[in-house]
Amino acid sequence: MGKKYFIKTFGCQMNFNDSERIRGILKSMGYEPTDNWMEADLILLNTCTVREKPDHKVLSHLGEYKKIKEKNPNAIIGVAGCLAQRAGWELVQKAPVIDLMFSSFNMHHLPELINQAQAGYKAIALLDEPPEDEDKLWEYDTVRDNKYCAYVTVMKGCDKNCTYCVVPKTRGKERSRSLESILDEVKRLVDDGVKEIHLLGQNVTAWGKDFEKPLRFSDLLYEVSKIDGVKRIRFTTGHPSDFTDDIIEAMAEIPQVCNALHLPFQAGSDRILKLMDRGYTKEEYIEKIEKIKDRIKDIALSTDIIVGFPTETEDDFLHTLDVVERVKFEQIFSFKFSPRPGTPAYDMEGQVPDEVKRDRMERLLNLQKKIMGEICKRYEGTVQEVLLEDTENGNKLIGRSTTNKWVSVEGGKELLGKIVKVKIEKSSPYNMSGEVVEVMA
């Protein structure tokens, strides 16, 4: 009792939600959190391996964290997540300081792994596939920093075969969480004061397809919306091929579903999309976006883009710029292609030189900066619904609009957790400010 833990998380929202679940497990064991790793009895790195840079960061942090052994020889250092699953014992050989290691498959085994590490063993538990008792993980509540918004993982894994992606190897095949389990967690969260539910999955829009009696992701949206107290619903990340018309209709019909959507297109060239094995063409993606814009008022779109995929030519890249120009995303997450071991793209011929990637990335970001500048000005003078989540600089409150923009207002702490209408006075590409004109809920 009284032991302290420190968690460092890398990567996507799924990883951050996994860390929240790990914190719940540790809380059940009597551990308390600390922001100072030097006073921790347990240090955990929850890792990402989608790109090469996080791999290097993990090794760098391990080199720093091993100093804790001088002060506390019994301190345990662990690595979890996707890098653990991909690298396995190779990572332990590079960083012998690691005492325990597990992947997203077996987070619920953490208590017994800690016991093994405390007994002096290398507690390394990496599985080739999810265990039969994987659903025991949902018995643990999450420990969150945000009182009013919560992530809920609804499925794990991915059945797509994108040639650049390690997720099918590190997270496994698609496994949908049961509807009953999801709704039970949502109810507990609402009882705890949560107003906004953010549904998560590597390919969240494929939820329900693997059930014996298949369900649609739109069915899940309707069911979550029926729970009393759910004021907002978001979800991440969908695949264009699984983003079907019924999901569009559900987004349009359900008041709680926010008018913001993240839908990766990755590249604009049909030739590159085929090499990536994405399963759609440029025009098919554009047609889907047009249908979404037609049905969902003031939809705010965001996307992922990979620059410099093997053999990408200038003409291929111009197709990517064309998609950005035509769709006018409010936010893009862009990455230079990073070859990941174990993926078909790792040793593809025609690797693009780094200087070409850098040039194309700069041009992409300049175009997006121009588009965001145009879009942000349209918000000025409008009234936006904002869920106020936290304080900022004393008398300021901050929250997010339904379009996922940060908004700051003046107001007292009694407004925290409230959804308010805000008249936007100033708007920049990344945040807005305004005046509260109505308190809604």
Kind of pairing between the strands at 406-410 and 396-401: antiparallel
Going by the DSSP 8-state scheme, the letter that residue 108 receives in this structure is G
Which of 125, 149, 169 lies at the terminal end of a domain, its last residue? 125
Predicted confidence (pLDDT) per residue in 209-254, tens digit: 999 999 999 999 999 999 999 999 999 999 999 999 999 999 999 9
Mean pLDDT for 337-365 is 96
Structure tokens at 403: 């379009």
Q: Backbone phi, then psi, for 345, in 5-degree steps?
A: -75, -10
Do 369 and 286 fall within a single domain?
Answer: yes
Do 112 and 144 fall within a single domain?
Answer: no
Which of 376, 399, 420 lies at the terminal end of a domain, its last residue? 376
How many Å separate Cα 281 from the centre of its chain? 25
Do 388 and 353 fall within a single domain?
Answer: no
Give the integer Cα–Cα distance in Å for 440 and 418: 7
What pLDDT was estimated at residue 41? 97
Going by the DSSP 8-state scheme, the letter that residue 353 receives in this structure is P
Give the integer Cα–Cα distance in Å for 298 and 384: 11
Say if residue 16's pLDDT is above 80: yes
Say if residue 367's pLDDT is above 60: yes
Do 172 and 273 fall within a single domain?
Answer: yes
The CATH number linked to 423 is 2.40.50.140
What pLDDT was estimated at residue 2? 80
Question: In the structure, what pLDDT confidence band is assigned to residue 430 with cuts at 50, 70 and 90?
Answer: confident
Do 325 and 249 fall within a single domain?
Answer: yes
Do 366 and 222 fall within a single domain?
Answer: yes
Give the integer Cα–Cα distance in Å for 226 and 219: 11
Mean pLDDT for 298-325 is 98
In one-letter notation, the amino acid at residue 313 is T
Residue 264: give the domain boundaries.
134-376
Question: In the structure, what pLDDT confidence band is assigned to residue 422 with cuts at 50, 70 and 90?
Answer: very high
The CATH number linked to 233 is 3.80.30.20
Do 95 and 142 fall within a single domain?
Answer: no
The CATH number linked to 44 is 3.40.50.12160
Which of 125, 151, 186 lies at the terminal end of a domain, its last residue? 125
What pLDDT was estimated at residue 219? 98
* Residue 34 exposed, middle or buried by CB count within 10 Å (0-12, 13-18, 19+): middle
Give the integer Cα–Cα distance in Å for 82 and 285: 29
What pLDDT was estimated at residue 85? 92
Do 71 and 155 fall within a single domain?
Answer: no
Say if residue 1's pLDDT is above 70: no
Mean pLDDT for 193-204 is 97
Question: Quick one: which of 278, 295, 288, 300 has its CA closest to 203?
Answer: 278
Q: In the chain, how many domains are there?
A: 3
Mean pLDDT for 24-41 is 96
Do 51 and 157 fall within a single domain?
Answer: no
Give the integer Cα–Cα distance in Å for 222 and 232: 12
Radius of gyration from C-alpha coordinates of the chain: 22
Do 371 and 393 fall within a single domain?
Answer: no
Least confident of 195-199, 394-398, 403-407: 394-398
Mean pLDDT for 130-145 is 94
State the helix-helix crossing angle for 314-327 and 354-379, rounded to 10 degrees. Answer: 10
Give the integer Cα–Cα distance in Å for 277 and 43: 38
Do 190 and 138 fall within a single domain?
Answer: yes
Higher pLDDT pick, 30 / 392: 30
Q: With b meaning 16 or more CB within 10 Å and e meaning fewer, what string describes 42-68? A: bbbbbbbbbbeebbebbeebbeebbeb
What are the distances in angstroms from CA 49 to CA 55, 100, 305, 422? 6, 18, 17, 40
Say if residue 392's pLDDT is above 90: no
pTM for this one? 0.94
Do 335 and 226 fall within a single domain?
Answer: yes
